[in-house]
Amino acid sequence: LAAMQEEDELVLEAARKAIPKLSFEQHKGQAGRIGVVGGSEEYTGAPYFAAISAMKAGADLAHVFCTKSASPVIKSYSPELIVHPLFKIAQYLIKTLPLISYPRDAPKALDLINEWLPRLHAVVIGPGLGRVDSILSTVKDIILALKQNETPVVIDADGLFLITKEPSIIHGYTRGILTPNIIEFRRLSKALNLPCTSEDLSGSITETIALSQALGGVTIVRKGIIATMNEAGSPRRCGGQGDLLSGVMALFSFWTHNRCCKIYNSFSLKWIDAGAVPPTLLAGYAACLLTKRCAAQAYRKSGRSTTTTDLVAEINSVFSNTFEQK
């Protein structure tokens, strides 16, 4: 336990060093421009939680790329978010011509989003995306473009459905993070012909490492397993907490990729290059820690009534107490 706590503190210190300090010399955008690709007529809360959580954790700007029908709803949640209603034609066809084969999503959707992709520091793929083939086809092209730009990517929810269908999309991309729950993890493992039967912690960790290796070094943040094991979190399992996690993880991923730092190990009395710890690992650890502590703090206040909105309200307090450099 002592060794685990020492390792946790070293990783946490490395994550702290990657966080940019606030100063009057900075200009808008330097602390993070985060994109969220997701949001459909049925699911508008998920992309909102991902985007607003990134901003509450310190991102300067957050963009949501969603369907036309989801756009006004997401805009109504918060004026801070920049909402782009790019996925249009597919949604119209679903309602009017349900029996025909769908063409690709709006012909100009990829061209329009390509104007924004080079400006984004990290992108979340999947919250509230839905599983319409035409939209998923466009999202596949978005992921390929982000890889070409070497942009950190966090893939969650319906984005994982796409990866399960075509694992090659993300294979070998070491700036990518997948955040599956247990069901999504099993589907990914099955798609790659890997076993997923362990019920104990040690076996689950081994399976998670095997999946990461099978995907060519992509970081796997397996919910409930690979995440700050010393943190209790909350017994409340309201929807939206995973969206908060993915949003702050994208922001942390930008920061950790953007900063090269060293940490001092007081046990060995020497400086350690934090570059030895993969930026995606630092981002995953920091985001899980923040989310769990927000959940615990919100639950102490609201108990059974806790919702993700309550967690979002705790981000500033938890971030300040956990990560701010003194």
143 is in an annotated binding site: no
183 is in an annotated binding site: yes
* Contact indicator for 36, 128 with CB cutoff of 8 Å: no
Whose CA is closest to 260, among 249, 271, 269, 270?
271
186 is in an annotated binding site: yes
60 is in an annotated binding site: no
CA–CA separation, 123 vs 170, rounded Å? 14
181 is in an annotated binding site: yes
239 is in an annotated binding site: yes
Torsion of CA 262, 265, 269, 273, to 10 degrees: -30
Q: Which pair of tokens denotes residue 257?
A: 């990729």
184 is in an annotated binding site: yes
238 is in an annotated binding site: yes
Q: Which pair of tokens denotes residue 2?
A: 């002592």
243 is in an annotated binding site: yes
- Measured in degrees and rounded to the nearest 5, phi and psi for residue 236 equal -80, 130
- Return the H-helix or E-strand segment holding 34: strand 33-37
**CA quadruple 10, 12, 13, 14: dihedral positive or negative?**
positive
185 is in an annotated binding site: yes
- Measured in degrees and rounded to the nearest 5, phi and psi for residue 84 equal -115, 110
29 is in an annotated binding site: no
**CA quadruple 209, 285, 281, 180: dihedral positive or negative?**
positive
CA–CA separation, 295 vs 232, rounded Å? 9
49 is in an annotated binding site: no
For tokens 């912690």, what's the residue? 201
235 is in an annotated binding site: yes
91 is in an annotated binding site: no
Show binding-site residues for (6S)-NADPHX: 128, 181-187, 243
Annotated binding site: 128, 181-187, 233-243
- Indicate the annotated binding residues for ATP: 233-242
